[in-house]
Amino acid sequence: MTIADLRPADPADLDDHVDHDPVDGAHDRADGTDALHAWVDDIAALTRPDEVVWYDGSPAETDRLTKLLVAEGKLIRLNPEWRPNSFLARTDPGDVARVEDRTFICSEDADDAGPTNNWREPEGMRAELRDVFAGSMRGRTMYVVPFSMGPLGGPLSQLGVQVTDSAYVAVSLGMMTRVSPAVVSLIEAGAPWVRTVHSVGAPLVGADGVRSEDVAWPCNETKYIVQFPETREIWSYGSGYGGNAILAKKCFALRIASVMARDEGWLAEHMLIVKVTSPEGRVFHFAAAFPSACGKTNLAMLSPSIPGWTVETVGDDIAWLRQGPDGRLRAINPEAGFFGVAPGTGEKTNATAVSTLWGNTIFTNVALRDDGDVWWEGLTDEPPAHLVDWEGKDWTPGCGRPAAHPNSRFTVSAAQCPTIADDWDAFDGVPIDAILFGGRRATNVPLVAQARDWRHGVFIGATVSSEQTAAAEGTVGELRRDPFAMLPFCGYNMADYWAHWLRVGERLGEHAPAVFQVNWFRKGDDGRFLWPGFGENARVIEWIARRVEGSAGAVSTPIGRLPVVDELDLDGLDLPEEDVAELFEVDRASWLAECDLTEEFFDRFGSRVPPALRAELASLRYHLRG
């Protein structure tokens, strides 16, 4: 059976079909294709699209949709001489980023969502969604997109289906996931699947009498991004922006998947994955969790500065990890593409990313050059003399506003990355040798430290933070907490999430990966970065790899194991000895002050904080005072 066989009747004929409220969360129909087909019919009857189209992800269907989007003015085709088969999208200025204050976790129990999530009572939220989605797709086509997160049928993979009234979203899903008729076959055979629903919202009429439907990028002032963890559902309304609309991304891959992982004994993480090969040919796989603006993409596409080492990309954003038959933790990149931030990505900072974007790319909210190519801040040292900015306005250097939106994006297939690893799409994942955590810290946190054991590693992950501006002046300033880089993305109580990590470590036992903390951003008293970063970070990766294989030494300190400095390859860097010393300095008074801040943070979660993490905090204080 193909997707074409499953296309429902005209939505106008569905009035008598609906025997189930698609928003009530109860999916008691027969399993498999019947359930899928009936669910699609129910959503169509609720939202009233003019047409229902099943998107199969094929090049022909993708070409048809991009041509449609160009004809409607929602995509601009770029000059094929510079950027073949590539397009520029411009969103509404009010629809340019995730809307965290309108993102809800609707668990049955508010305590299951925890203090760091926006919780709403499920039934009340379903009533609100029923009202806004009723008729929301009138005048549009509803696209049905069956997709796999991870290789089709893989032991770490999961299936989903998104319905959306945005062709831009459908095409983006085709790049970010594995869209295929084979997904329907797996569902037909009884495989579980996550239901996701998206609408840009009912058309609005502005003061000028122009309907939002008549502009290039419709959206709605009212927005909802709603996760129902128990029923594995996502409903998104009012936004066409990527993170709010491409529901396989953070909504499924992290918020819903983290709950699935908790219930099934695996991990869904905001982590990159890299394959590292030593000069001797030994292969390592590392996963790393960094909050935004902490060097995540640069590490995922690292170009080592030291000879003999190679770093290849497995994934740049999401990792799903599960214990394999051999007892080791194995990981997949569940995505098939990159949805990266454009500003700051350039030849000097990330030449690999720039090379990836040679063609077959959708750019969103970047600037348009006069020759039909794109530009953003950081792409080149000097901006062009004239651009059309992300809002469609003329732009020149010195005009006082950015040419590209600070959160402008590119969407491109991962397979196009020149440093993509040969095992990036491995059916059963790759074995993880080490896990890295990092934040943006001007003080306290050394360049690299190894956790004593898994429990200590979970404590490090739970206390990941970046310093606010005050910290640049050398004080322990206010910390922006982002444990495991998951604060906006964990679908349940963060303290329960820490407890789940501890349980996973107990099951892994001797097979648990080593855990490290890195910090590329430590500064001296004069405000200088002490470490050059970028390609030189390979020197830290080298030490981590040598620790994993047991050939590098370490010095025990209250905060973990630090490198024996003579064993850290610093040749050719010309770092002053005092800078090297400061990179690894452990200021006991500052760390004790940070312990107090950590205790305050833990107290937000009350009695749900695992006793093991309270014990780690007490141990840290004891050794700092010793």
Give the annotated binding-site residues for substrate.
98, 241-243, 292, 407-409
Residue 420 host element (H or E): none
Instruction: Indicate which residue of 106, 219, 251, 294 is catalytic.
Output: 294
For the four alpha carbons of 282, 285, 291 and 292, in that order, the dihedral sign comes to positive
Structure-token pair, residue 598? 């950590």
* DSSP 8-state class, residue 383: -
Collapsing DSSP to helix, strand or coil, 579 comes out as helix
Q: Identify the CA nearest to 461 among candidates 504, 498, 514, 417.
A: 498
The three-state secondary structure class of 77 is strand
Residues belonging to the binding site for GTP are: 293-298, 409, 440, 534-537
Q: Which residues are annotated as a binding site for Mn(2+)?
A: 250, 270, 317
Alpha-carbon distance of 330 to 260, in angstroms, equals 17
Q: Give the annotated binding-site residues.
A: 98, 241-243, 250, 270, 292-298, 317, 407-409, 440, 534-537
The residues, ordered by sequence, that sit 6+ positions from 13 with a Cβ below 8 Å of its Cβ are none
CB–CB of 161/147 below 8 Å?
Answer: yes
Cα 233 from Cα 74, distance rounded (Å): 28
What's the number of CA atoms in the CB half-sphere (13 Å) around residue 439?
A: 24
CB contact set of 425 (below 8 Å; sequence gap of 6+): 151, 333, 415
Where helices occur in 177-221 by DSSP H, the ranges are 181-188
Instruction: List strand residue ranges (DSSP E) for 476-564, in order.
Output: 479-481, 514-518, 554-557, 560-563
Q: Determine how many CB atoms are found less than 10 A away from the CB of residue 190.
A: 10
* Helix orientation angle between 494-508 and 257-264, rounded to the nearest 10 degrees: 40
Q: Could you give phi then psi for residue 139, rounded to 5 degrees?
A: 85, 0
The DSSP H or E segment spanning 340 is strand 337-341
In sequence order, the β-bridge partners of residue 331 are: 321, 430
CA atoms of 576 and 141, how far apart (whole Å): 63
Residue 578: Cβ-neighbour burial (10 angstroms; 0-12, 13-18, 19+):
exposed
Specify whether 106 is catalytic: no
Taking phi over 0 as left and psi of -120 to 50 as alpha, with beta for the rest, 45 belongs to: alpha
Tokens of 587: 């200021």
Cβ(180)–Cβ(160) under 8 Å? no
Q: Strands, DSSP E only, in 439-509? A: 448-450, 465-467, 479-481
The span from the CA of 409 to the CA of 412, in Å, is 10
Residues with catalytic roles: 294
